[in-house]
Amino acid sequence: MIALLIRDLKLAFRSGGGFGLGLAFFLLVAVLVPLGVGPQGGTLARIAPGILWIGALLACLLSLDRIFALDFEDGTLEILIPSPLPLEGAVAVKALAHWLTTGLPLAVAAPVLAVLLHLPASGLPWLVASLAIGTPALSMIGAFGAALTVGVKRGGLLLSLLVLPLYVPSLIFGAEVVRRGAEGMAVGTPLAFLAAITLGSAASLPFAAAAALRMSLRQG
Amino acid sequence: MSLWEYANPKKFMQTSGAVLPWVAGLAAICLGTGLIWGFFFTPDDYRQGSTVRIIYLHVPAAMMAINAWAMMLVASLIWLIRRHHVSALAARAAAPVGLTFTLIALATGALWGAPMWGTWWEWDPRLTSFLILALFYLGYIALWQAVENPDTAADLTSILCMVGSVFAVLSRYAVNFWNQGLHQGASLSLDQRENISNVFWLPLVISIAGFVALFVTLVLLRTRTEIRARRLSALIARERLA
């Protein structure tokens, strides 16, 4: 399990693209929005929580198809199925590796971009906290979506159509945490919901994703 | 005599062929009565005027949009557990119908919202969750079309339907949390004191029945088409082998 995690992390770092790309995309979103909306600080501060969360969502989405596609092409997935590690565990590890290479860096980089968007300083810790708590769910849901589309040729667009509606609850609660944090209100409730979604997906979606993977591979 | 007999495509084709004209007739009668009664023979509402008549399309379509997803969920579960092909095909057949009902509910809602709320669209919890439901339908249909092997497609869409159901409910309550909205609450429930007046209630119930019958008709029809298409492709495959 740990070997698989290390392997996935190494691949993500060394193959280039995947790791830095998500971050760069996140940066671009945060830079482009003020260019489109105009530089008024008040407006930017108000929409900053939503923009940052949507940016994180899309940055996550970018690298989702890498979770299984490469391993599917070179046959690694077929070796993983009969291996002693249950496929559910392998899926969870791959989602974890995806989170470590996209979600976690996003959460770390977010405060810098939040300053660009004039997010009040009181919101910064909550921004980091909400991204750190919420993005594991994005990786897990994304792994499920990637498992569904792994056998589909040119499944990238289909993947976003399947996955984005599933991101709705995380987006709503995540942005709500940041907004309330920035306005100095209590953030406990949305933060608890956000954590609940993450824990719920981590507990149940590996089974759904593993089942989908087995089904996709059986046809081959 | 068990329900599972109808899982046999031949038996299903026989029974559904016999039942279909009756359900279609029932749908036509109920829709005709409910809609004509509702559109022409009910009084104007004292506050909404004649726009209240949109209710005879809006409410039944919205109810069926949700029920269609529930039916797909049940059919998907049956496919995953007992592997009856008819069930998977019925789920596939129901999806575009459900999507259409969702769009009808959204469109009539916008038409109703324009004069009453002064806006075509509002990010109200019910409206938003319906939009999200439409996206779920789109994804489901797209997945069916993208996967080539029919059994794999049925497996994958069934799983998507199950996970999607959970997230659809989650989204429904998440948007509730976010904005309280303009949409009125339920006014058809049997156990509440403030309900819609009887003058509007009867034609509404009849058109709801009509929409249910219409849904059953369309799903049966589309399932029969799917079964025939499946037989056809089996025949073609056999020809090619011979």
CB-based contact, A152 to chain B, within 8 Å: yes
Assess contact for B185 and B10: CB atoms under 8 A: no
B66-72 mean pLDDT? 92
Contact A53, A171 (CB under 8 A): yes
Residues from chain A contacting residue B155 (CB–CB below 8 Å): 211-212, 215
**Mutation for A interface: B170, B172, B173, most A CBs within 10 A:** B170
Number of structural domains (chain B) is 1
User: pTM value?
Assistant: 0.85
Residues A108-112 have a mean pLDDT of: 87
Query: Which residue of B73, B130, B132, B143 is the best one to mutate when testing the A interface, meaning the one whose CB has the most A CBs within 10 A?
Result: B143
Smallest Cβ distance to A212: which of B138, B156, B174? B156
Nearest residue of B to residue A218, measured between CA atoms: B152
Q: Does residue B174 form part of some domain?
A: yes
pLDDT at A43: 80
Confidence of residue A199 (pLDDT cuts 50, 70, 90): very high
Mean predicted confidence (pLDDT) in A19-30: 81
Provide the pLDDT for residue B123.
76
Nearest C-alpha in B relative to A190: B177
User: Is A219 a residue whose pLDDT tops 70?
Assistant: no
Contact between B181 and B126 under an 8 Å Cβ cutoff? The reply is yes
Overall average pLDDT of the A85-101 stretch: 87
Q: Is residue B109 part of a domain?
A: yes
Quickly state the pLDDT bin for B137 (edges 50, 70, 90): very high
DSSP string, A149-194: HTTSTT-HHHHHHHHHHHTHHHHHHHHHHHHHHHTT---HHHHHHH
- Is the Cβ–Cβ distance between B221 and B73 less than 8 Å? no
Indicate whether B29 belongs to any domain.
yes
Residue B34 lies in a domain: yes
Q: What is the average pLDDT value for chain A, to the nearest integer?
A: 84
Question: B138: which chain A residues are within 8 Å (Cβ-Cβ)?
Answer: 161
Q: Is A176 on the interface with B (CB under 8 A)?
A: yes
B81: pLDDT strictly greater than 70:
yes
User: Residue B41 sits in which domain range?
Assistant: 20-181+198-241
Task: Give the residue from chain A lying closest to B158, CA to CA.
Answer: A212
pLDDT attached to residue B98: 94
In a domain, B210, yes or no: yes
pLDDT value for B25: 92
Is B159 inside a domain boundary?
Answer: yes
Residue type, B44: D
The pLDDT value recorded for residue A83 is 79
pLDDT digits (tens, 9 = 90+) for A54-80: 988 988 888 887 788 877 878 778 888
Q: d(Cα B74, Cα A205) in Å, to the nearest integer?
A: 20
Average pLDDT over residues A33-40: 82
What's the pLDDT at B100?
Answer: 94
**Which residues constitute the domain of residue A139?**
2-218
Q: What percent of chain B has pLDDT over 90?
A: 31
Question: Looking at the 3D structure of chain A, how many domains does it have?
Answer: 1
pLDDT at B102: 93
Give the integer Cα–Cα distance in Å for B227 and B196. 42
* Amino acid occupying residue A71: D
**B66 within some domain:** yes
